[in-house]
Homo-oligomer: A and B are copies of this chain.
Amino acid sequence: MSNKDLQVLRNEIDAIDVKLLELLSERGKLAQEIGKVKQVSGVKRFDPVREREVLDKIAENNEGPFDTPTMKHVFKTIFKACLDLQEADERKTLLV
Task: Mark A residues whose CB is within 8 Å of B.
Answer: 1-2, 5-6, 9-10, 12-14, 16-21, 23-34, 37-38, 40-41, 43, 50, 54, 57-58, 61-66, 70-71, 73-75, 77-78, 81, 84-85
Contacts and interface: CB of A to CB of B under 8 A. Distances in A.
Nearest to A35: B9
Nearest to A26: B16
Contacts of A65: 25, 28-29, 32, 85
A16 B66 CA distance: 18
A39 B16 CA distance: 23
25 contacts: A1-B37, A1-B41, A2-B37, A5-B37, A6-B34, A6-B37, A9-B33, A9-B34, A10-B50, A14-B54, A16-B27, A17-B57, A17-B58, A20-B20, A20-B27, A21-B58, A21-B62, A21-B71, A24-B74, A25-B62, A28-B66, A29-B65, A73-B77, A74-B77, A77-B77
